[in-house]
Amino acid sequence: MITTEIDNLAKKVKSDFPFFTNNPDTIYLDSGATSLKPQIVIDAIVKYYEVYSANIHRGVYKASMDATEIYESTRSVIKNFVGADDDYEVIYLRNTTEAMNLLAFTLNKTKNQLAKNYQAWQNGFEKGDVILITESEHHSNIVPWQMIADEKGLEIVFVPILQNGELSQNAFAEIKEKLKNRCVKVVSLSQVSNVTGIIHNLEPFRTFAREKGAVFIVDGAQAVCHHKINLNEIDADAFAFSGHKMLGPTGTGVLLAKKGLLDNLPPFLGGGDMILDVTKTATTYNKIPHKFEAGTPDIAGVFGLRAAIEYLDRIGMDNILNWEKELLKYGMKKLDEIGVHVFGPSLSDLDRVEKAGVLSFNIPGIHPHDVGTILDEHNVCIRAGHHCCQLLMQAWNTSATNRASFYLYNDFSDIDKLVDSIGYVKKIFKK
Ligand code: PMP
């Protein structure tokens, strides 16, 4: 049962999620970590095993050919969903993390093959080259770069955040000036922060990447689930996301990248499916996307991901974002009323700053893990920790926060329950 109206979207969709039938008293506020799955996604996964079950690409029999057809045509479904034209190719991976590693490690092996499309890439990575990221990145957009920076003597430059989690445009202007004569080879940032929910303006970063002839990469892990993406407009050279945060199965991730980039990168993993021809002395690689998809993939996962996209499309991404914004405003007001410190943009900032349904907060004097544990006793699931964003924690001078993240199936009563439970925590700790 699907609707395009946002007035109480949760009421309309909740019964689509079997989690709530099995856990009727649970308030799930951890969709930033992973979303719940609607029945049709689960059914699509089961259908693959029950009806097709065969491996793809290899079989000359019906079950294999039918499975291959669904698997392959899902690439267009994905492209339509994120507004990507034929310049882009879809690579199936396990998650966003794998996509970022693929990019870092294959770029690290590149010499001058990218020179035609990216003027910073006349040579491969050289000592002193710059990778520009931001302080608000998830570790998956930090650690792979650090791994290759160590090897090649690269400098990673971080655009700092303002205290409310926005990227500092003044600091970015200063950084650009300092990097005037430096070779910047990669500019990479997340579109939506998993800690603040801020939907960052990517345009200044793309402009800078283009000026420098760098590869422009966007981590879309928290973006695809919350709002409509127009990848043609974003014009990223590479854009990565995970299926499990957008109602799809775990173990499914997608890298959308421009053919002009992928054609000139070496493969990431070697093995079956990614080859055209193997001899004792050499291998000819398959064409993209297969060159980057070694081995048997998560076929059932792709079936599930397709069902998730079709479900989200029917609801409408704008309706989801609008609903999250309603929840967000309500939650921020309520937390403010009981003296809880919310990190990130303030209520008044929301007139200016676009933000998805994520609330990071701390109760002064109470460790987030204690809060999370006590909330669990009240059947309220939130996350407590650094959220794989330790640089952001350091910028805020804290080691951890609590995080409540909303999605289409949450409603105002979930927030009331959160607030009541926090009130109980404060009472126990006499705060
Ligand atoms: N980037 C962001 C912004 C994220 O929120 C996450 C997941 N928390 C990731 C990357 C990594 O996603 P995955 O664990 O699915 O690889």
Atom of ligand 1 lying closest to residue 33 CA: 8
Asked whether 30 and 381 are in contact (CB, 8 A), the reply is yes
Asked whether 114 and 264 are in contact (CB, 8 A), the reply is yes
For the packed helices 39-47 and 299-315, what is the interaxial angle rounded to 10 degrees?
150
The torsion angles phi and psi of 212, rounded to 5 degrees, stand at -90, -10
Q: Is 53 left (phi over 0), alpha (psi -120 to 50) or beta?
A: left
Residue 302 has pLDDT above 50, yes or no: yes
Give me ligand 1 centre to Cα 135, in Å.
15
Identify the domain boundary among 284, 312, 340: 312
Give me ligand 1 centre to Cα 411, in Å.
24
For 96-123, how does the pLDDT look when each residue is reduced to its tens digit (9 = 90+)? 999 999 999 999 999 999 999 999 999 9
Identify the domain boundary among 258, 286, 312: 312
Give me ligand 1 centre to Cα 151, in Å.
25
Mean pLDDT of 4-32: 90
**pLDDT confidence band for 2 (50 / 70 / 90):** very low
Task: Give whole-number Cα distances, 403 to 33, 194, 226, in Å.
Answer: 10, 9, 16
Whether 229 and 103 share a structural domain: yes
**pLDDT confidence band for 59 (50 / 70 / 90):** confident
Whether 98 and 242 share a structural domain: yes
The conformation of residue 86, written as its DSSP 8-state character, comes to T
- Is 146 among the domain residues? yes
Ligand 1 probe mutation, 34, 194, 403, most atoms within 8 A of CB: 194
Atom of ligand 1 lying closest to residue 219 CA: 1
- Is 36 among the domain residues? no
- Is 389 assigned a catalytic role? no
Whether 298 and 391 share a structural domain: no
| Of 65-69, 242-246, 265-269, 427-431, minimum mean pLDDT range | 427-431
Whether 307 and 324 share a structural domain: no
Atom of ligand 1 lying closest to residue 388 CA: 8
Quickly list DSSP for 325-377. HHHHHHHHHHHHHTTPEEPSS-TGGGGTS-B-SEEEEEBTTB-HHHHHHHHHH
The torsion angles phi and psi of 239, rounded to 5 degrees, stand at -140, 125
Give me ligand 1 centre to Cα 339, in Å.
30
Give me ligand 1 centre to Cα 298, in Å.
19
For 171-211, how does the pLDDT look when each residue is reduced to its tens digit (9 = 90+)? 999 999 999 999 999 999 999 999 999 999 999 999 999 99
* Residue 166: Cβ within 10 Å count: 19
- Is 70 among the domain residues? yes
For 315-342, how does the pLDDT look when each residue is reduced to its tens digit (9 = 90+)? 999 999 999 999 999 999 999 999 999 9
* Residue 52: Cβ within 10 Å count: 23
User: How many whole angstroms separate alpha carbon 145 and alpha carbon 147?
Assistant: 5
Give me ligand 1 centre to Cα 306, in Å.
20
pLDDT score at 1:
37
Residue nearest to atom 8 of ligand 1 (CA): 33
The conformation of residue 186, written as its DSSP 8-state character, comes to E
pTM tops 0.95: yes
- Is 11 among the domain residues? yes
- Is 67 among the domain residues? yes
Mean pLDDT of 244-248: 98
User: How many whole angstroms separate alpha carbon 373 and alpha carbon 383?
Assistant: 10
Identify the domain boundary among 312, 338, 362: 312
- Is 83 among the domain residues? yes
Whether 274 and 348 share a structural domain: no
Atom of ligand 1 lying closest to residue 244 CA: 15
What is the overall mean pLDDT for the chain? 96
Whether 338 and 380 share a structural domain: yes
pLDDT score at 350:
92
Write the CATH number for 18: 3.90.1150.10
pLDDT score at 271:
97
Whether 407 and 356 share a structural domain: yes
Host domain of residue 335:
4-30+316-430
- Is 254 among the domain residues? yes
- Is 271 among the domain residues? yes
Give me ligand 1 centre to Cα 99, in Å.
11
What are the structure tokens assigned to 157, written together? 């430059």
Whether 300 and 419 share a structural domain: no
User: How many whole angstroms separate alpha carbon 285 and alpha carbon 278?
Assistant: 9
Residue 286 has pLDDT above 80, yes or no: yes
pLDDT score at 7:
67
Whether 20 and 150 share a structural domain: no
Residue 147 has pLDDT above 80, yes or no: yes
Residue nearest to atom 4 of ligand 1 (CA): 221
Q: What total number of domains does the chain contain?
A: 2
pLDDT score at 5:
45
Question: Which residue of the set 183, 225, 388, 389 is catalytic?
Answer: 388
Whether 303 and 276 share a structural domain: yes
Atom of ligand 1 lying closest to residue 99 CA: 16
Cα dihedral value 192, 196, 199, 201, nearest 10: -100
Whether 220 and 137 share a structural domain: yes
pLDDT score at 431:
79
Residue nearest to atom 5 of ligand 1 (CA): 194
Ligand 1 pocket residues where CB is under 6 Å: 95-97, 138, 140, 190, 194, 219, 221-222, 242, 388
Residue 212 has pLDDT above 80, yes or no: yes
pLDDT score at 399:
94
Mean pLDDT of 224-247: 98
Whether 426 and 277 share a structural domain: no
- Which residue in the block uniquely carries the two structure tokens 């990431």? 268
Residue 146 has pLDDT above 60, yes or no: yes
Atom of ligand 1 lying closest to residue 190 CA: 3
